Amino acid sequence: MSRVVVTGRIPDTAIEKLRAEHEVDAWSGPESIRRDELLRRVAGADAIVSLLTERVDAELLDAAGPQLKVVANVAVGYDNIDVPACVERGVVATNTPGVLTDATADIAFGLILMATRRLAEGERLIRSGQAWKWGMFFLLGSSLQGKTLGVVGMGGIGQATARRAKAFGMEIVYQSRSELDPTIAAELDARRVDLEELLSVSDVVSLHCPYGPATHHLIGAEQLATMKSSAFLVNTARGPIVDEDALATALREGSIAGAGLDVYEHEPRVHPGLLGLDNVALLPHLGSATVETRTAMAMLAADNALAVLSGERPPAAIS
Ligand code: DGY
């Protein structure tokens, strides 16, 4: 029997699955676990099931000890994990791709609609109690039909977002490290372009690339200036892909029309320059937040941990 430490609350079904085979120490406090408490608890762990609110770095791996075999992140993004530090110590790192694709694409498309059709603005107006009535020019937004969606990062979530856009009558361009599978490219009628072209031709730019040194501030002042003044930026990937100072300036000065954000550069803090702007829709990192999706994510993380603990290849290894 091995010792599994779970760093935060996850659905009971996943805890039960782990408990059927191993001793499980799961943090169940209402707040995220404090770092000192986490460092203490991981000592002697064979597996860590981590949430993206916890940093899994050399300090934490060393606090666990040399018997640690696996870090199973309950997220597809793994910028909270120092993967080279895991590799150095022979620890397998895993994530949860696939199971949150549709949920995240739904939120990306929700933000596209919120931003282009000014949904949050309308909702705020009603709740504020201000007088309003139908008017020919009242809260006019932008239509999506016939417009171009630029997808940055055409993995599963980018493709699922493009599929939704296609159903709304949009054209698709994308920027990605690799060419799409020809069948999918034909289905989406999607054209691969470089980032500069994507930014200059798109009416909506949606970010779906992983975060790392290569994508830090991928969208900054220069890239925002390349976008059309009528265009919208949507980010459901990771906050630091966008330079939020530059975005707040572009939105305030009208150099782009609007934005929709689910993630933030210094999450959970939101840039104060964004909070007062009406042309940005703001969500609190809800991409994968459905009961079904979070359950599937936790079950996949449990399967990953269990596989490594029994000497098998995990379904979703990062390293
Ligand atoms: C992920 O899995 O990376 C998501 O951001 C979690 O919602």
CA of 289 to the centre of ligand 1 (A): 9
Confidence of residue 194 (pLDDT cuts 50, 70, 90): very high
Distance from C-alpha of 159 to C-alpha of 212, rounded to nearest angstrom: 21
Same domain assignment for residues 272 and 171: yes
Does the pLDDT at position 319 exceed 90? no
Residues 188 and 88 in one domain: no
Nearest CA to ligand 1 atom 1: 75
Q: Are residues 9 and 108 in the same domain?
A: no
| Same domain, yes or no: 93 and 107 | no
Q: Would residue 285 show up in a list of annotated catalytic residues for this protein? A: yes
Percent of the chain with pLDDT over 90: 99
Task: Name the β-bridge partners of 175.
Answer: 152
Chain segment 104-159, per-residue pLDDT in tens? 999 999 999 999 999 999 999 999 999 999 999 999 999 999 999 999 999 999 99
* pLDDT tens by residue, 202-228: 999 999 999 999 999 999 999 999 999
Closest atom, ligand 1, to C-alpha of 236: 5
**What burial class does residue 133 get, using C-beta atoms within 10 Å of its C-beta: 0-12 exposed, 13-18 middle, 19+ buried?**
exposed
Q: What is the span of the domain harbouring residue 301? A: 3-99+291-309
Tell me how far CA of residue 315 lies from CA of 19, 172, 294, 301, in angstroms: 19, 31, 17, 9
Q: Is 105 exposed, middle or buried (0-12, 13-18, 19+ CB in 10 A)?
A: buried
* 224 and 129 fall within a common domain: yes
Tell me: do 210 and 262 sit in the same domain.
Answer: yes
Band of pLDDT at residue 199, cut at 50, 70 and 90 = very high
- Which residues, in sequence order, are bridge partners of residue 235? 207, 261
238 given a catalytic annotation? yes
Mean pLDDT across the chain, nearest whole number? 98
Res 98 pLDDT > 90: yes
Residues 154, 259: Cα–Cα separation, whole Å: 20
Q: Residue 218 is part of a domain; what is its CATH number?
A: 3.40.50.720
Residues 24 and 68 in one domain: yes
**Does residue 141 sit in the same domain as residue 122?**
yes
- Do 159 and 268 lie in one domain? The reply is yes
Shared-domain flag, residues 80 and 124? no
127 Cα: distance to centroid of ligand 1 (angstroms):
30
Average pLDDT of span 276-299: 98
